[in-house]
Amino acid sequence: MTAVHTDNYPESYYFSTLKYNHKYPVLESELTADVCIIGGGFTGVATAIELAERGYSVILLEAFKIGWGASGRNGGQLIRGIGQNLEGFRKAIGQTGIDAITQMGFEATQIVIDRIKKYNIDCDLTMGYCDLATKPKHLADLHADYQKLQKNNYPFDTRLLTEKEVREQVVDSSLYLGGFEDMGSGHLHPLNLCTGEAKAAADLGVLIFENSEVSEIIHGDVVTVKTAKGQVKAKTLVLAGNAYLDDLVPEISAKVLPAGSYIIATEPLNEELVKTLMPGNHAVCDQKIDLDYFRLSADKRLLFGGMCNYSGRDPKDIKAALYPKMLKVFPQLAGINIDFQWGGKIGIGANRLPQLGRIKPNVLYAQAFSGHGVNVTHMAAKLLAESISGESDRIKYFALVEHMSFPGGKYLRAPLLALGMMYHKLIDAIK
């Protein structure tokens, strides 16, 4: 991983409201542990907690700051589910695997909710989420999703909403034909969740090191992980770098594409406007290929995101790109000030199923959460810990699925995927 180290986070609304700004040291010695984890985002930090709770000694190495990547910059939407179309993996995992991953998709959000309560993490958790339809095809898809959840005994309240109910209870916009409300999903402050979990991990005895980029991994019965100023020897290694692993582990980094995602945050809105725009305080997401997602922050800003970029190039002006999209949903916000704009890289897999498994008997990994990382990373962490401890082999359902490497090599795979996504956006627009 090539890194420019910093003592601060990228500017964002989340950084401006950070509550757990603890500075962890740089690794400058030779240490040993049961498990070494590379990556200080949700996957790495949650895995550290899971393992520490099971009695393992854990060292976590982060190249920047805890939550520096997608974990601290995302939309903050905690949404049920794992993978987009489990039926497509039937040949590899069978009905048993489909059923197991479906239930894990329900379990994942509960892991986050329980973690927040157990460790009293102040991260603005708010329950309530709604998928929004902009065309009849989306309505049919939402009805199918609703029926599927009922069939699988989803344990939270869900409702299909008419166009009128969406406008009165969720989003005051003329764009949407209906929606699907899920009270088992919701939204939160992701950077405060990740850094709050890091504090919980440290309190459990996990040794966390920031600005400690890994330069080399030497495999063996004991794995040696080297940084510029130190090293860790561990019986087991967990790779949790996701889109930021780069060339450190090429056999898995080629299977995940770093794609850009971007958010703007308005100035705080007055209470009357808030009650009109989003009366239920839900997190919401439409169903387009180039989807919009938005929600209110705890201090009543509209956080509006979207414009997933597969080209590898960030927009020159995030506000200029997203502001018109926001006004299309909420024309009544014309002239509102944008106080923050930011973006980051999320890890996309070709088939949108998270990638979990082992590259060696004592080296495990989890990556490619494809924009649903807030919940799925926490489920992945539990599966990694269960596998390491011998508690369960549930990770096997993910390991059974073959994942292709993106074609074109390091420099061509992003442009090639961007062309493919342009095709899918065109098809979506004309359906």
**For residues 168 and 159, what is the distance between their CA atoms, to the nearest angstrom?**
14
- What is the model's pLDDT at position 372? 86
Spatial CA neighbour of 365 closest among 255, 261, 204, 268: 255
Residue-level pLDDT, tens digit, the chain, 431 residues? 334 445 689 999 999 999 999 999 999 999 999 999 999 999 999 999 999 999 999 999 999 999 999 999 999 999 999 987 899 999 999 999 999 999 999 999 999 999 999 999 999 999 999 999 999 999 999 999 999 999 999 999 999 999 999 999 999 999 999 999 999 999 999 999 999 999 999 999 999 999 999 999 999 999 999 999 999 999 999 999 998 888 899 889 889 888 888 999 999 999 999 999 999 999 999 998 788 999 999 999 999 998 766 555 678 899 999 999 999 999 999 999 999 999 988 888 888 899 999 999 999 999 999 888 999 999 999 999 999 999 999 999 999 999 888 766 555 555 555 444 443 344 444 45
Element (H, E) at 30: strand 30-38
Q: Where are the beta strands (DSSP E) in 164-254?
A: 178-187, 207-209, 214-218, 223-227, 231-239
**For residues 61 and 65, what is the distance between their CA atoms, to the nearest angstrom?**
10
- What is the model's pLDDT at position 360? 97
Characterize 352-371 residue by residue with b for buried, 16 or more Cβ atoms within 10 angstroms of its Cβ, and e for exposed. Answer: bbbbbbeeeebbbbbbbbbb
By the 8 A CB rule, do 312 and 208 touch?
no
**For residues 302 and 304, what is the distance between their CA atoms, to the nearest angstrom?**
6
CATH class of 126-187+257-348+408-431: alpha beta
**For residues 204 and 187, what is the distance between their CA atoms, to the nearest angstrom?**
26
Element (H, E) at 321: helix 318-329
DSSP state letter for 425 = H
By the 8 A CB rule, do 286 and 173 touch?
no
CATH class of 13-74+191-255+351-400: alpha beta
Domain boundaries, the chain: 13-74+191-255+351-400, 126-187+257-348+408-431
Characterize 5-17 residue by residue with b for buried, 16 or more Cβ atoms within 10 angstroms of its Cβ, and e for exposed. Answer: eeeebbebbbbeb
Residue 28: φ, ψ to 5°: -135, 30
By the 8 A CB rule, do 294 and 329 touch?
yes
CA angle 344, 348, 349 (to 5 degrees): 165
Residue 78 C-alpha from the chain's centroid:
9
By the 8 A CB rule, do 7 and 23 touch?
yes
